[in-house]
């Protein structure tokens, strides 16, 4: 029995900042971002949007797209690193939002939970639900990846921002992709990228002596949480390379394969924190699989030879055929953390649908990564009915309908200084209010469907 993705849908912000606008205002040469990293647009959340609205919208599109009955969905598992609560999961908000439209109690027998491991959390959710379906072939699960990749203004990560959600229906005998049971894994606990709880002293910061109560805080320290991460870009990149290389080798062992496994894959899907990350890092695996070709390159050092290999006709042919299709949407949206690898999948499928490619029974290789750090490598086979599903998914058409914002609006949205939405919500879930007065509901977030 096969298990995998039967259908797929997405949601992205209506707004984006042109990369040229960011480059101009940050005194960065635009070509370094466009030609060097593959960036063109950076999607950005409006006032009324967050990870819950995107996840809910993607889920609703999936349900309507396939006329799904809520009672047929046994699980909604969300992968995110942009949780809005330390206890209540995004998935429970999604369930409530769906019930507000589809009927109270319509998902009462549905299991929901969030899985968090930086950018690989949704892969964990996917594999958990694949195992569930393999044990229960008549049941269905929904996996949602929803994230807001936000970095500090003027930081080295600012141009890699983005936001979006991908929702996938997981079933037996799927119409899009069926996944291998074998998975290569590499894990190591590191601090390459994380979002810590930080504290400040009442006395030192607020000049409050004798530890008085402050907005309900009785402790002498106040805990702060920022959406923006603490990260070391170069170190994180090396962790990425180390984990994917180790997981790739482990996958070869787990699947009892030898030789160049990537040659079995018509397309390669990787986590893309920026558009060209995949092509820039897969060269490490390519070099290890092709030692003679590496050694034949011009260069005095191993690093020089690796750079030369990255520009070789053999590697560029691999990039253009196996990696480039996944980059198309990434360059127009940006990083969406847990959803980036699935956005690459959707981009690849939509590209081949437009090109009328014959993908049936072709294999895709997945190389996932999450900071902290973990990589998983596995593969999937394209099902014969994939085109019937993709004809309903208008990814590239939707990207053409998004609206550019100016730099002043971008900075105000980033700082949360705007009170009103740039674009009024229509036919979508939106954040209506956050409770501030009721002591037993302080912080509760309320959503509506326009």
Alpha helices in 41-151 (DSSP H): 51-65, 90-102, 121-135
pLDDT at 138 over 90: yes
Determine, yes or no, domain membership for 222: no
Determine, yes or no, domain membership for 201: no
**Average pLDDT, rounded, for the chain:** 97
Determine, yes or no, domain membership for 146: yes
The domain of 174 spans 3-192+232-449
Task: Give 307-363 pLDDT, tens digit per residue.
Answer: 999 999 999 999 999 999 999 999 999 999 999 999 999 999 999 999 999 999 999
Determine, yes or no, domain membership for 213: no
- pLDDT computed for residue 206 by the predictor: 85
**How many structural domains compose the chain?**
1
Dmax over CA atoms of the chain, in Å, equals: 72
pTM of the model as a whole: 0.97
How sure is the predictor about 11, in pLDDT bands with cuts at 50, 70 and 90? very high
DSSP β-ladder status, 15-18 and 41-44:
antiparallel
Task: Give 42-57 pLDDT, tens digit per residue.
Answer: 999 999 999 999 999 9
Cis upstream peptide for 373 (omega within 30°): yes
Residues 279-288, mean pLDDT to the nearest whole number = 98
- pLDDT computed for residue 208 by the predictor: 85
- pLDDT computed for residue 150 by the predictor: 98
Tell me, letter by letter, the H, E, C secondary structure of 196-241. Answer: CCEEEEHHHHHCCCCCCCECCECCCEEEECCCCCEECHHHHHHHHH
Task: Give 178-187 pLDDT, tens digit per residue.
Answer: 999 999 999 9
Dihedral Cα 336, 157, 268, 8, nearest 10 deg: 10
User: What CATH number is given to the structural domain containing 381?
Assistant: 3.40.47.10
Determine, yes or no, domain membership for 215: no
Q: How many Å apart are CA 214 and CA 443, to the nearest integer?
A: 16
Determine, yes or no, domain membership for 209: no
- pLDDT computed for residue 203 by the predictor: 87
Task: Give 99-120 pLDDT, tens digit per residue.
Answer: 999 999 999 999 999 999 999 9
Determine, yes or no, domain membership for 307: yes
Task: Give 19-39 pLDDT, tens digit per residue.
Answer: 999 999 999 999 999 999 999
Q: Is 326 helix (H, G, I), strand (E, B) or coil?
A: helix
Determine, yes or no, domain membership for 356: yes
- pLDDT computed for residue 216 by the predictor: 87
How sure is the predictor about 2, in pLDDT bands with cuts at 50, 70 and 90? very high
């Amino acid at each position: 029995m096969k298990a995998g993705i039967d259908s797929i849908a997405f949601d992205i912000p209506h707004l984006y900042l042109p990369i040229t606008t960011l480059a101009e205002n940050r005194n960065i040469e635009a070509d370094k971002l466009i030609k060097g990293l593959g960036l063109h647009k950076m999607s950005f959340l409006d006032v009324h949007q967050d990870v819950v609205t995107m996840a809910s919208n993607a889920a609703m599109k999936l349900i309507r797209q396939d006329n799904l009955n809520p009672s047929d969905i046994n699980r909604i598992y969300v992968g995110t690193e942009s949780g809005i609560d330390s206890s209540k999961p995004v998935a429970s908000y999604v369930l409530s939002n769906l019930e507000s439209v589809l009927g109270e109690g319509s998902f009462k027998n549905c299991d929901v939970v969030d899985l968090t491991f930086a950018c690989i959390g949704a892969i964990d959710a996917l594999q958990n639900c694949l195992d569930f379906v393999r044990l229960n072939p008549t049941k269905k699960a929904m996996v949602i990846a929803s994230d807001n990749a936000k970095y500090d203004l003027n930081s080295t990560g600012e141009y890699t921002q983005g936001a979006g959600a991908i929702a996938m229906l997981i079933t037996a005998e799927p119409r899009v992709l069926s996944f291998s049971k074998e998975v290569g894994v590499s894990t190591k606990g590191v601090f390459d990228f994380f979002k810590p709880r930080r504290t400040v002293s009442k006395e030192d910061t607020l000049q409050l002596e004798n530890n008085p109560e402050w907005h309900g805080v009785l402790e002498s320290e106040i805990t702060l949480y920022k959406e923006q991460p603490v990260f070391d870009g170069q170190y994180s990149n090396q962790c990425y390379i180390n984990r994917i290389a180790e997981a790739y080798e482990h996958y070869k062992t787990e699947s009892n394969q030898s030789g160049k496994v990537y040659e079995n894959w018509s397309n390669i899907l990787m986590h893309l924190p920026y558009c060209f990350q995949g092509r820039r890092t897969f060269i490490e695996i390519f070099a290890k699989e092709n030692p003679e070709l590496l050694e034949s390159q011009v260069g005095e050092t191993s690093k020089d030879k690796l750079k030369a290999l990255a520009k070789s006709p053999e590697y560029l042919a691999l990039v253009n055929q196996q990696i480039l299709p996944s980059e198309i949407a990434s360059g127009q949206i940006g990083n969406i953390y847990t959803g980036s690898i699935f956005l690459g999948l959707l981009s690849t499928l939509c590209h081949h649908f437009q090109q009328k490619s014959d993908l049936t029974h072709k294999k895709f290789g997945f190389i996932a990564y999450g900071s902290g750090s973990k990589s998983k490598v596995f593969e999937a086979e394209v099902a014969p009915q994939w085109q019937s599903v993709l004809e309903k998914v208008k990814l590239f058409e939707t990207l053409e309908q998004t609206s550019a914002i100016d730099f002043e609006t971008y900075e105000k949205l980033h700082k949360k200084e705007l009170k009103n939405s740039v674009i009024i919500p229509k036919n979508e879930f939106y954040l209506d209010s956050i409770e501030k007065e009721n002591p037993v509901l302080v912080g509760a977030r309320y959503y509506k469907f326009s």
